[in-house]
A and B are shown apart, each in its own frame.
Chain A
């Protein structure tokens, strides 16, 4: 590939020299025609006003109603203002945003009054994500987000033409590759030595230079059966019901009289019947919401490995396209929430550095074997995903029980207070205590069963979760420190929480309640040499 400096074909507007702020002037001068600064795609001029209009809509309407009730004479003034202001404001981002790709950096300058400029060294580009809302797609645009090795803010180009965006991504990821193994810390040392024609470097993951793309997974609509069992969207449904109930006040059926008469009406029918119908219709509603949500989110889902990067695309209305350099993927996490697990489903996420929140869902809820096999292909090793976990023994189990019982005690105590105030009878206290303790026991046993760890060749595996079963796999190369955290109770039980700190995912992998000696042995085995000097000879 030729080192195309400005992959975007929009007319390169050269900003007046006095607009160039200090930081930009310090940047290495790129040997490019007309400095190579480009504006975002001109179609952004259609995008932003609509967006601002949307933001202005609500306050605008309120203002208009407020004014209209007092005085009508200002209308001819207000209406044009309400329409023109968003349009004028919406053009500002396009007018003030410039970006360019030099030989060594991606540079972005933006802002009218508060000027901001961000730069990212090309060889630190770790991920390039494309995202398009429905509006973006109608206009043929994509939002590009460029992530570097560190987790702080990313460079966002919103928006570029679709082809330009894709070309930019290819360019950036391809250029980042030759130094992907990152032996040179100093950026300047590598500038000028990057030869874009060099093939993919050998990634630490043992990359064999996948020029051709391999599909790791794509949507299988039989997976829709898992949709109702993952409760993530339940919040959405609850929110929708909340919004509806706001309007409920204004509906004629909800007046106080009608509620009272409805209550009499209910009284005449069997109450159980009414409850049954309510539950069934709630269930039906939930299934519809879950299935529709699943389809909207995961439409056209594909996970592809291409040139040592993972590419993830999905979405019906808002399309997302996420690319992560494989060398930056430090592990995976298989999550089986309680309901999903009953029907044999699981979800898979990668733990990576330099991605927005570190943990990226790479599969929709799908059959567990699929999650395991995709995880295996990402890790290039199956053992960490299938090997049995080492459990933590009697004292860890006892701690799990104590923790759950301590939480559950709230209910008997509340009941005892109620009995004391003679709100309820004593038999209620007994019932509440029994149920609370039984539930606590179930939760504790489930927590203990999920708890565990193991170490394979090159991967640390941690099991956790109370209701969900979570298996976290972390490359031992990605471990950048250990913390042995003991509370007073853990010290009594010679247990410890072992924390492997890492730059990937949520920055830490915690193995709870490991016997202390096992924890030391595990840490020593996972990072050979690191602990050697600090060990007591047996």
Chain B
């Protein structure tokens, strides 16, 4: 039995993708997360006011959850901004995402089927856009969260141009 991690030196490793996402992304993540916290808080207060019984353990659980949510709002955007990175080379799209876990995705440009960008209402306020690249595999869509809207637009144009030039049915 070969133990892969002990055998010969496959010391090559994946470097991180070249570019960070927009510097406004952390504010956006913090804002959306804070909105979530607020909804949670309001729901809790409403329940507290209108319910006839207020057991101490339910209140404790609620407070703990609220503190955790606030902690996430404080910490997550910072970590996420450090983790989220992207790069488009002539050969492939390479992204890294996540904050507790990590997802590194690589898809060859010549297998890309669609490129589209999305911009939600709050995203628009921050001037951000999300880019999604799909391949023929349902498991393979690559999403770059929170790019500069301008960068996203340029990237869509660039990727569309490249993919239009490729042949085959990309399966």
- List chain A positions with a Cβ less than 8 A from chain B: 124, 149-151, 182-185, 328, 353-354, 390-395, 478, 480-488, 490-491, 494, 499, 501-504, 507-508, 514-518, 520-521, 523-524, 527, 529-536, 538
* A interface majority secondary structure: mixed
Structural contact, A390 and B106, CB atoms closer than 8 A: no
A481 touches B137 (CB 8 A): yes
What are the residues of chain A within 8 A of B1 when measuring CB–CB? 391
Secondary structure of the B side of the interface?
loop
Output the nearest chain A residue to B98 by Cβ-Cβ distance.
Answer: A486
- CB within 8 A of B111: which of A328, A480, A529, A532? A480
CB of B125 within 8 Å of the partner chain: no
What are the nearest 10 A-B pairs in CB distance? A501-B140, A521-B10, A508-B139, A481-B107, A503-B136, A515-B5, A503-B171, A501-B137, A480-B111, A484-B104
- The number of inter-chain residue pairs (CB within 8 angstroms) is 154
Q: Are B14 and A535 in contact (CB under 8 A)?
A: yes
Cβ–Cβ contact B171 & A487, under 8 A: no
9 contacts between A and B (CB under 8 A): A353-B136, A390-B2, A484-B105, A501-B107, A501-B140, A520-B10, A520-B12, A529-B91, A530-B108
**Residues of chain B lying within 8 A (CB to CB) of residue A490:** 101
Q: Which residues of B contact A (CB under 8 A)?
A: 1-6, 9-15, 17, 87, 89, 91-92, 94, 98, 100-108, 111, 135-140, 142, 167-171
Question: Contact partner of A517 among B5, B94, B107, CB < 8 A?
Answer: B5
Nearest CB in chain A to that of B17: its residue: A534
Q: Find out whether the CB atom of A481 lies under 8 angstroms from the CB atom of B11.
A: no
A534 touches B169 (CB 8 A): no
Say whether A491 contacts B140, CB under 8 Å: no
**CB of B54, distance to nearest CB on chain A (Å):** 26
Q: Which residues of B contact A514 (CB under 8 A)?
A: 4
| A503 CA to B92 CA, complexed, in Å | 17
Q: Which of A182, A485, A521, A530 meets B92, CB within 8 Å?
A: A530
B108 and A480: CB pair below 8 A?
A: yes
Instruction: Report how far A516 CA is from B7 CA in the complex, Å.
Output: 13
Cross-chain contact of A524 among B6, B12, B111, B140 (Cβ < 8 A): B12
In the assembled complex, which residues on chain A have CB atoms less than 8 Å from the CB atom of B101?
485-488, 490-491
Tell me, rounded to whole Å, the shortest Cβ–Cβ distance linking A212 to chain B.
Answer: 28
Question: Residue among B4, B91, B107, B170 with the most chain A CB within 10 A?
Answer: B4
User: CB distance A393 to B6 under 8 Å?
Assistant: yes
Query: In the complex, are the beta carbons of B14 and A484 less than 8 A apart?
Result: yes
From B2, B87, B100, B111, contact of A481 by CB (8 A): B111
Interface hub of B3, B5, B15, B111 (most chain A Cβ within 10 A): B5
A463 to chain B, nearest CB (A): 12
Complex Cα–Cα for A478 and B168 (A): 13
| B141 CB → nearest A CB, Å | 9
Separation in Å of the A412 CB from the closest CB of chain B? 24
For the complex, give the distance between the alpha carbons of A403 and B4 in Å. Answer: 21
Assess the B169–A185 pair: CB atoms within 8 A.
Answer: yes
Q: What distance in Å separates the Cβ of A185 from its nearest Cβ neighbour in chain B?
A: 5
By a CB distance below 8 angstroms, the chain A residues around B3 are 391, 393-394
| Chain A contacts for B108, CB-based, 8 A | 480-481, 527, 530
* Residues in B neighbouring A503, C-beta threshold 8 A: 135-137, 170-171
Report the bound CA distance from A431 to B51 in whole Å.
44
B4 contacts A518, CB within 8 Å? yes
Q: Which residues of B contact A149 (CB under 8 A)?
A: 169, 171
Which residues of the other chain, A, contact B94 by a CB distance below 8 angstroms? 534
A-chain residues with CB within 8 Å of residue B4 when the two chains form the complex: 390-393, 514-515, 518
Which of A395, A487, A533: most chain B CB closer than 10 A?
A533
CA separation between A347 and B139, bound complex, in Å? 25
B163 to chain A, nearest CB (A): 10
**Known contacts A185-B167, A499-B139, then 19 further A-B pairs from the complex at CB < 8 Å, ordered by chain A residue:** A124-B169, A149-B169, A182-B168, A391-B1, A393-B6, A480-B111, A481-B107, A484-B14, A484-B105, A491-B102, A502-B139, A503-B171, A507-B137, A507-B140, A515-B5, A516-B13, A523-B106, A533-B92, A534-B89
Query: Across the two chains, which residue of chain B brings its CB closest to A486?
Result: B102
When distances are taken between beta carbons in the complex, the residues of chain B under 8 Å from A491 are: 101-102
A383, chain B: closest CB distance, angstroms: 16
* A507 x B139 contact (CB < 8 A): yes
A392 contacts which chain B residues (CB < 8 A)? 4-5
Q: Could you tell me the distance between the alpha carbons of A139 and B97 in the complex, rounded to whole angstroms?
A: 58
* Alpha-carbon distance between A393 and B94 when the two chains are bound, in angstroms: 28
Q: How far is the CA of A481 from the CA of B143 in the complex (A)?
A: 13
Are B15 and A536 in touch, CB under 8 angstroms? yes
A481 to B100, CA, bound (A): 23
Are B107 and A480 within 8 A (Cβ)? yes
Known: A390-B2, A501-B107, A514-B4. A481 touches B13 (CB 8 A): no
| In the complex, residue of chain B having the shortest beta-carbon distance to the beta carbon of A151 | B138
State in angstroms the CA–CA spacing of A524 and B137 once bound together.
Answer: 20
- A501-B140, A503-B136, A520-B10 known; A484 and B171 CB under 8 Å? no
Let me know if A480 and B135 touch, CB within 8 A: yes
Contact status B10-A518, CB under 8 Å: yes
With A185-B169, A392-B4 given, is the CB distance from A508 to B102 under 8 Å? no
Give Cα A146 to B51, complex, Å.
59
Whole-angstrom CA separation of A490 from B135 in the bound complex: 27
User: In the assembled complex, how far is the CB of residue B115 from the closest CB belonging to chain A, in whole angstroms?
Assistant: 14
For A508, give its contact among B12, B87, B137 (CB under 8 Å): B137
Contacts of B170 in A (CB 8 A): 480, 503
Residue numbers in B under 8 Å from A390 (CB-CB): 2, 4
